[in-house]
Structure 1
Amino acid sequence: MSGRTTPAGGRGWTLAVVCVATFMLLLDLTVVNVALPDIRDAFDASFTSLQWVLDAYALGLAAVLLTAGSLADRLGRKRVFNVGFVVFVLASLACGLANDVVTLSLSRGVQGLGGAVLFAVGPALIGQEFQGDDRGKAFGIFGGVVGLSIAFGPLIGGALTDGLSWRWIFLVNVPVGLVALAVSGLRMRESRAGSAVAVDWWGMVIFTGALTLLVLALLRGEAEGWGSAPIVGMFAASAVLLVVFALVERSRGERAMFQLALFRNTTFNGVSVVTLVCAAATMSAIFLLVSYVQNVLAFSPWQTGLRFLPLTGTLFVAAAVAGSLTTRVPQRLLMGTSLALIALGLGLVALTGPDTAWTALLPSMFGIGLGMGLFNPPRASLSIAVVEPAKAGMASGINETFQQVGVAIGIAGFGAAFQSRVSELFATSAAGRRLGASAHEFGEAVAAGGGTEAIGRAPRAMAPALEAAARTAFVDGLTDVMFVCAAVALAGSLVGFLFIRTRDLHESARGEAGNTPGGHGVPLGEAGTEGLSAAESVRSGGER
């Protein structure tokens, strides 16, 4: 690492800047949803065009997480972080000033690329500044911010869209980002790997291409058809590129952007799987629950955000508690318990019914919020604890990649299952059978939140029966899919309990990970992970 000392209070400023950046980039995952009707009216945009406004950001965010982390280790984490911040702010400005939906979608893609850099490098910046109990508390705050950004999306998006304009959901990033950049330049310190390693350009290009094709296929599979030639072709090309990437990385040894030998580390595999599973189950669930509150219970975006405050508050308190526990409790217990609580919360969605009030969701919100709050701090801490400090950016980038792929898989898979289930339930209802061949199309509109519009186009005499059938199909379909999400989360809980082990962590982090008395451990390199330089680790730690 750089030998410079941290400016007075520098680590607090580092945490603040990383949290602000993370809040902004994750907020933009959900905040746009509530503004889509206004964007559609402003540009007379089609449904497909609006879908690209969402997909372009998710695609950019997922594609370069690993490459951004690897670059940061080599070129300097502060430098790469600030470049990503500049890209994110400029792209946000372009989004806010866009004069057509194509420009908006392209700008969203660039915004996602900048956000990926912030997301990948942020945890490594926190890890370099905080040690011991302070590190646990710092990651507790970071984990709380991750959850808050997701939960507050509808609330903030609704306030900006209703009070000002949809353009301000993007433009607000500009002044906030400029202030954060100024603080970063003045207060954050630089750090990088202790030895100069050439940038693995071939590895970056191949992996970015593979991940781009994979995420794009997941995002567009439902619309294009999972068995269609473009989707199958993208999945196949992604698989081929991943194989080529593995061969290239194996041949590059220590110069590789991704140490393939990490897959020999049980805890690395466990954290990766749990991160993917948690993201797939929780993000898809939150999107569907928000859709339920808005489209079935007919609350505005602002009112919806207010009603999710129990989940938000529980999440933030739990994250603060988890931060203090990461150095006192074995992290496998935190990770396993957090997924079990999420599974419980998802299962409690069954308390809702076609005629229940929104308060029926409160037990589910408390369970999900508690589980997510307990999950995020140890997840972020463990993501960089499996490697020596010099490779923290790479490790963080890998973990965030698993998270974003999990989001894409969850929203695509569970979203498709939800749409199919609601359509089936509606088509087999008494009112659906009266519609005949158009029943499935009507059911798909209900699942997508367009039930009110579809009912408005139907004969007036049928409206009450259609409305009741649509509401019942939506709620029953939601409950069925939540049970599947709960089962997936429960499987992730078992992985957390069984495959996260303190002894697999790097020696620089093992003492901070809730190690039990008498526990043994060996450095990661001695546990079967080749290519990690002990001298480089000592040099990195000695310069702190």
Structure 2
Amino acid sequence: MTRSPADRTSPSLVRRHGPVVAVCVGGALTSLDLTIVNVALPQLADDLAAGLSGLQWVVNAYTLAFASLILTAGALSDRLGDRPVFGSGVALFTIASAGCGLAPSAEVLVAARAVQGIGAAAILATSISLLARSYDGPRRATAIGAWVTVGTLAANLGPLVGGVLVDGLGWRGIFLVNVPIGLVLLIALPVLVPARSGHPAPGRDRRPDVGGVALAVAGLFALNFAVLSGSERGWRDPAVLGASGVAVLALVGFVLLQRARGERAMFDLRLFRIPSFSAAIVLSLLTRMASFGALPFFVLWMQGPLGLSATATGLCLLALSLPVLVLASLSGRLQRVLSARVLIASGNLAAAAGALALLVAIGPGSGWTAALPGFALIGAGAGLVFPSLMGIAVGVVTPDRAGMASGMANTFFPLGTAVGVAVFGVVSTAAADAEDAVVAGLDAIAASMAALCALGVLVALTLIRDSDRIGSD
């Protein structure tokens, strides 16, 4: 095999670790910007004269663009190559970050945040497929575990880092700090990721499926908009109902078009014939719903009835994030001795136990310490599940479909969070007539979390099969 100039000139250490370094830096940037902006909203409101609706769109514009384009970016990477799409995402994210930091109005900031989300989608969608093409076996599991660890750490540190930057540099600093990091990553990318690691498969049709792209983006945008807006505006709001209708029509049209296009399709629907792949997609939704979808309600409990500050709440949540970091970093070693099926089932079982611990421990007179054992078990479950889940999604398909597989699995992460928030909001509201509405709502949420995790155990044990091999369909 002909080696690229980067292969010949870069040291062996860089060749071994370059791809994981690149995707971890990219993952840190995109994960940080999911949470870092929240602490800057009061300053944004004062400086740009932004109302509540404008502030909501500063947050949601990033999430909507991000969630709507992950599948498309992953599919395009199979046709154009992972490294070009990843690099384009880094470049777009960096330019958009500068636009956010220099925004003269709330409207410009919202637009720049949407462009940031597009760049983040390209980075995220190609990260796992880049790792899948760069590493095999336990090394792949270790690399994916490192990516999960860094992303989790960045998301959890977002409010703390944001607070420091806002206090020191003002709200613009939380965006401008991305610019030098993004530029360094772009410059180093040819060395960190050899061209051969990001090339599409030979003979792959590089022409984009324009119709598929349009329907996928429209459908996923409308679906995420409906889910995000439904809990705020009400599910009978005309905009929510209209978006729901557009989502159904566009996604049904997408499925029909992909079936008709066969080999030329943007997404190969035959991947769903692989039981383990289908399990990975279902579990991507369930695990995100049960963990991140429920988290905001426990944060509201700590900062509302318990009166904890944002910093104290963040420290409490370390009980959840630290087990994720530890177990995700050990995923390579764990997968040497246990199958992904066992790890994912065990992780869901641990998370179910954590949800039941929250159900039992939190009562009308409970303090913040009552939640710590449950948080720790849920975090441990997530640390076991997420690396193995992403490894399955790309490990049971051929290399030329790693991008679309990764894109599909990642699509359900932000969607799962949004659906979880919406579902648990309904569950919590249904318990509002109880004597202690807050505790009753948390109990109902915890019971629902346990049920979702139990379903996750069943899906893992039933559908994930060691016999599924790369290229099965």
Q: TM-score normalised by the shorter chain: which range applies?
A: over 0.9
The DSSP-based 3-state class of the residue aligned with 1:502 is: coil
Alpha-carbon distance in 2 for matches of 1:24, 1:246: 32
Q: Which residue of 2 aligns with 1:296?
A: 305
Partner of 1:227: 236
Residue equivalent to 1:194: 202
Deviation string, structure 1 residues 250-281 (Cα, Å, up to 9, x no partner) = 22221111101112121111110011111111
What is the 5 A alignment of 1:208-287? 208-287=217-296
Q: Against the structure 1 CA distance between its residues 370 and 408, is the aligned structure 2 distance closer, same or farther, given a 3 Å change threshold?
A: same
Select the residue among 147, 172, 181 that pairs with 1:176.
181
Specify the SS of the correspondent of 1:284: coil
What SS class does the counterpart of residue 467 from structure 2 fall into?
Answer: helix
Find the aligned partners of 2:201 and 2:304 in 1 and give their Cα distance: 50
Give the alignment partner of residue 353 of structure 1, picking from 350, 360, 363. 363
Where does residue 504 of structure 1 map in the other structure?
468
| 8 A Cα contact 2:18 2:191, kept in partner | no
1:399 maps to which of 391, 404, 409: 409
1:317-339: CA deviation from partner (whole Å, max 9, x where unpaired): 11122222224322111111111
Kept in 1, the 8 Å contact 2:72–2:217? The answer is: yes
Q: Structure 2 CA distance, aligned partners of 1:368 and 1:331?
A: 18
Give distance in 2, aligned partners of 1:27 and 1:328.
33
**For each residue in 1:32-85, what CA deviation from the matched residue of structure 2 results, as whole angstroms up to 9, or x when unmatched?**
223323322333332222221221111001111111011111112111101001
Q: Provide the residue aligned with 2:129 in structure 1.
A: 124
**What letter matches 1:196 in structure 2?**
R
- The answer for the alignment partner of 1:377 in structure 2 is 387
* In structure 2, distance between residues paired with 1:193 and 1:248: 23
SS in 1 for 2:292: helix
**Aligned residue identity for 2:401:** K
Q: Are 2:313 and 1:308 aligned?
A: no
- Counterpart-to-counterpart distance in 2, 1:365 and 1:291: 15
Query: Equivalent of 2:15, from 6, 10, 13?
Result: 10
TM-score scaled by length of structure 2: 0.92
Structure 2 CA distance for aligned equivalents of residues 31 and 82 of structure 1: 23
What residue is the counterpart of 2:116 in the other structure? 111
Answer yes or no: is 1:408 the counterpart of 2:418: yes
TM-score, reference length from structure 1: 0.81
1:340-489 superposed matches below 5 A = 340-350=349-359, 351-418=361-428, 420-421=429-430, 424-425=432-433, 472-489=436-453
Does the 8 Å CA contact 1:148/1:312 hold for their aligned counterparts? yes
User: Does the CA contact (< 8 Å) of 2:149 and 2:329 recur in 1?
Assistant: yes
Residues 108-117 or 41-50, more deviating: 41-50
Shift of 1:216: 0.9
Q: Distance in 1 between the 2:302 and 2:278 partners? A: 36
Aligned counterpart, 1:148: 153
- Residues 416 and 272 of structure 1: is their aligned pair in 2 closer, same or farther, counting only changes over 3 Å? same
CA distance 1:185–1:300, change in 2 (3 Å): farther
8 Å CA contact 1:81–1:117 kept in 2: the answer is yes
For residues 249 and 357 of structure 1, what CA distance do their matches in structure 2 show? 52
Q: Counterpart of 1:510?
A: none
Q: Which moved more, 1:483-492 or 1:409-418?
A: 409-418
Partner SS for 1:64: helix
Does the residue aligned with 2:330 lie in a helix, a strand or coil?
helix
Q: Distance in 1 between matches of 2:106 and 2:358?
A: 36
The change in CA–CA distance for 1:116 and 1:372 in structure 2 (over 3 A counts) is: same
Deviation at 1:480, TM superposition (A): 2.2
Runs of 4+ residues deviating >4 angstroms: none
Amino acid at match of 2:456: G
Between 312-321 and 57-66, report the one with greater CA deviation.
312-321
Q: Look up the SS of the partner of 2:337 in the other structure.
A: coil
Report the more deviating stretch, 66-75 or 289-298.
289-298
Q: Note closer, same or farther for the CA distance 1:307–1:314 as it changes in structure 2 (3 Å cut).
A: same
Give 1:158 shift: 2.9
Distance 1:20 1:347 in 2: 36
Tell me the number of residue pairs that the alignment of Structure 1 and Structure 2 aligns: 463
Match of 2:91 in 1: 86
Q: State the distance in 2 between where 1:408 and 1:245 align.
A: 22
**Residues 348, 27 of structure 1: CA spacing in aligned structure 2 closer, same or farther, 3 A cutoff?**
farther
Partner Cα separation in structure 2 for residue 242 and residue 2 of structure 1: 42
Q: 1:89 to 1:313 in 2, by over 3 A?
A: same
Alpha-carbon deviations, 1:473-524, whole Å to 9, x = none?
3343223212212211221121112111121231xxxxxxxxxxxxxxxx50
Q: Percent identity?
A: 37
Pair 1:179–1:293, CA change in 2 (3 A): farther
Q: Larger Rg: 1 or 2?
A: 1
Change (3 A) 1:104 1:205: same
The amino acid that maps onto 1:330 is S
* Separation (CA, whole Å) in 1 of partners of 2:154 and 2:378: 15
**1:163: Cα distance to partner?**
4.1
Q: Which secondary structure does the structure 2 equivalent of 1:504 belong to? A: coil
The aligned counterpart of 1:452 is: none
Question: Does the CA-based 8 Å contact 1:221-1:412 persist in structure 2?
Answer: yes
Alpha-carbon offset, residue 162 of structure 1: 3.7
Question: Alignment RMSD, CA only?
Answer: 2.1
Distance (Å, rounded) in 2 between the aligned partners of 1:192 and 1:383: 18
> Helix, strand or coil for the counterpart of 1:166?
coil
